[in-house]
Structure 1
Amino acid sequence: MSKVKYYYDSETLSYRKIERKKGRKLKIFILSFLGMALSGFLWFLVYINLPQVQTPKELALQRELNNMELQFELLNKKIDQAQAVLAEVEERDNNLYRVYFESNPIPEEQRRAGFGGINRYKDLEGFNNSKLIINTTRNLDVLTKQIVIQSKSLDEIAKLAEEKEKLLAAIPAIQPVKNEDLTRMASGYGYRTDPFTKARKFHYGMDFTAPRGTPVYATGDGKVTRADNTATGYGNHVVINHGYGYESLYAHLYKYNVRVGQKVQRGDIIGFVGSTGRSEAPHCHYEVFKDNERINPINFYYGSLTAEEFADILRKSQEENQSLD
């Protein structure tokens, strides 16, 4: 039962009963409802804008995240620059180095292989910056693989260069007797008149006339396989195996300056001009072999003659005269 309330009326000097006005409860209810609705709306606004209100720690983390994004972008640019430089190295590798050393170029498929098929970066998915991180990681992996392949290729090129250097040093490339020591270039490779039988006979080497005791030089790097006088007609002679199928022979020597098994280098003195064996006068009979076949020594003097000197000795070597052995 609700309490009856009174108020004091000063005009009548008596207490009067308070009469409740009709509709008052409805107004109070409506006002209360509106108040709660407004309060709820205000709290909703605060809630949806709460992420934009960051604490100092969150601000610091956001700055760090922005910095990391910037670093990733810079790293991608550096990777692009490195790939551009590497592409130039690959171009020179395929079209210069490997062409020079007669080696097959590395196919583009081999340089780029190994990055298809399975998803290698699944663990990096699902983050805000996954695309940036995956792209950077993939580029770095591709660059690393390219560098590994190019590194192995350069190791191969270095080995080929070393072999090429050995080959160039081994090939007979100078005259066995220096020009200043020559009396003359008596006879070349080809048909010549035999000094003893006077018959036309094929001469398989070149004869360099010089005084007895004139130094005879190794024409390329190699190993002495003979230094004796047991071969018919050659007298005291030296044979050098240069490797790669090349050999050189130096005959009619006065004496040796090397022994069998000794390693020599181009320009080493291996003996001295003489006239031993089947010889008419002091000279060095010189022969060059390739794969056990005699070849014209005139093609192997590029290391010691000028163009004019080579033209002169070529002309003399082609004269069909009498040989000295």
Structure 2
Amino acid sequence: MAKVKYYYDEETLSYRKITVNKSDYYRRILFSFLGVLLIAFFGFIGFSQIITSPSERAQKRELENLKFNYKLLAKRLEESAVILDEIQERDNNIYRSYFEANPIPEEQRKAGFGGVNRYKNLEGFDNSEMIKKLTKEVDILSKQLVVQSKSLDEIVSLAKKKEDMLASIPALLPVKKGDFYVASGYKMRMHPILKINKFHKGMDFTAPKGTPVYASGNGVVNLAQRSSTFGKVIFVDHGYGYRTIYAHLSKMVVRRGAQVKRGDLIGYVGNTGLSVAPHLHYEVHKNGIALNPINFYYGDLSLDEFAALQKDAEESQSYD
């Protein structure tokens, strides 16, 4: 049986019985219940924090560390992409331009990955979007690096060819300075023996018999023989469309098929064939067309020497 509670009424100076409404009664019960639930909830949260295992705490720290490193890696990828863009710009506009190679189209450099979803296996995780984005950036950068690497390989190959070409162009005098004086240049003139006007396709270097004659560029001897017109003559194929002719020699020191370097001794000045005095008849051909040899002595002559040689070539008479 519930206890009966009283209170003292000062107006009547007597004790009166305390009566409780049912609504108040149920309200008190409800508030008490809610209070117990709140205490239990906050107590559980605090308790769960207390009872978290060391391995769980370590995993949480590792996850936070991974997120931080992913952000750092993403930033470094952006910086690498900027550097690669600069290299690609120089590659197209400087390196490939210098070696006369076509630039690599932008769509080829920046091409993405089509087809199936390459990153489906990365879906379904808490940080899937971050991981997919970073993985895609790595793939794109890797592809661009492959394209750039192949381009640089091509540039190296072109540079080697350019070096070979520069060494092969007949850029030296076939007779050393001081060993000759010019008799005739590249022009129409009266042939000293045939007595007809004929175009002189080369230059005549008059010099004593036995004066050394040198290859004016790297190449291969494709002819070394005696002819009725040129006498003892050597033809050197330099590649890249260039060929030189050394005629009226007294002696040849190379044979057909020999590899020669620029400046190698190949023979000696003579007076063989249709020639009226010891000299070297020298020609330069490009793709089968005879060119003025005086334009190829840039490896030997200063500007003043070139001007003097050009004047002599225009005024002198040929010996063949």
Normalised by the size of structure 2, how large is the TM-score?
0.86
CA RMSD of aligned residues (A): 2.7
The separation in 1 between residues aligned to 2:83 and 2:31, in whole angstroms, is: 71
1:207 aligns to what? 204
Q: Distance in 2 between matches of 1:30 and 1:216?
A: 124
Contiguous gaps of at least 5 residues in structure 2: 2-17
- Cα distance change on mapping 1:73 and 1:212 into 2, 3 Å: same
Residue 254 of structure 1 is matched in structure 2 by 250
**Percent identity over the alignment?**
51
Task: Write the distance in 2 (CA, Å) between the matches of 1:51 and 1:279.
Answer: 112
Superposed counterparts of 1:144-155, under 5 Å: 144-155=142-153
Give the secondary-structure state (helix, strand or coil) at the position aligned to 2:234. strand
Q: Indicate how the Cα distance of structure 1 residues 72 and 30 shifts in structure 2: closer, same or farther if over 3 A, else same.
A: closer
Worse-matched range after superposition: 108-117 or 63-72: 108-117
What does residue 11 of structure 1 align with?
Answer: none
Residues 221 and 255, structure 2, Cα contact 8 Å, conserved in 1 = yes
Q: CA deviation at 1:122?
A: 2.6
The 5 A counterparts of 1:173-322 are 173-182=171-180, 184-229=181-226, 231-319=227-315, 321-322=316-317
Partner residue of 1:164?
162
Count residues with an aligned counterpart: 303
- AA matched with 1:167: M
2:72 corresponds to which letter in structure 1?
L
The CA distance in 2 between the partners of 1:322 and 1:28, in whole Å, is: 139
Query: Is residue 324 from structure 1 mapped to residue 319 from structure 2 by the alignment?
Result: yes
Shift of 1:303: 1.4
User: What letter matches 2:231 in structure 1?
Assistant: G
Residues in 2 aligned to 1:56 and 1:307: alpha-carbon distance in whole angstroms: 85
1:82-125 superposed Cα distances (whole Å, 9 cap, x missing partner): 11211111111100111111111001100011335653323223
Equivalent of 1:122 in 116, 120, 123: 120
Output the CA distance in 1 between the equivalents of 2:69 and 2:62.
10
Which letter maps to 1:300? Answer: F
State the AA in 1 paired with 2:202: G
Letter in structure 2 aligned against 1:87:
D
Deviation at 1:252, TM superposition (A): 0.6
**Contact 2:193 2:274 (C-alpha < 8 Å) held by counterparts:** no
Instruction: Give the unaligned 5+ runs of structure 1.
Output: 5-20
Tell me the CA shift for residue 126 of structure 1: 3.1
Shift of the alpha carbon at 1:215? 0.7
* 1:217 shift after superposition: 0.4
Change (3 A) 1:233 1:26: closer
C-alpha deviation, 1:161, in angstroms = 1.1
Measure how far apart 1:306 and its partner are.
1.5
How many angstroms does 1:200 deviate by?
Answer: 2.6
One-letter identity of the residue aligned with 1:204: K
1:64-97 deviation per Cα after TM superposition (whole angstroms, max 9, x unaligned): 1121112111111221221121111111110011
* Structure 2 residue identity aligned to 1:323: S
Identify if the C-alpha distance between structure 1 residues 245 and 116 changes in structure 2 by more than 3 Å, giving closer, same or farther: same
3-state DSSP class of the match of 1:237?
Answer: strand
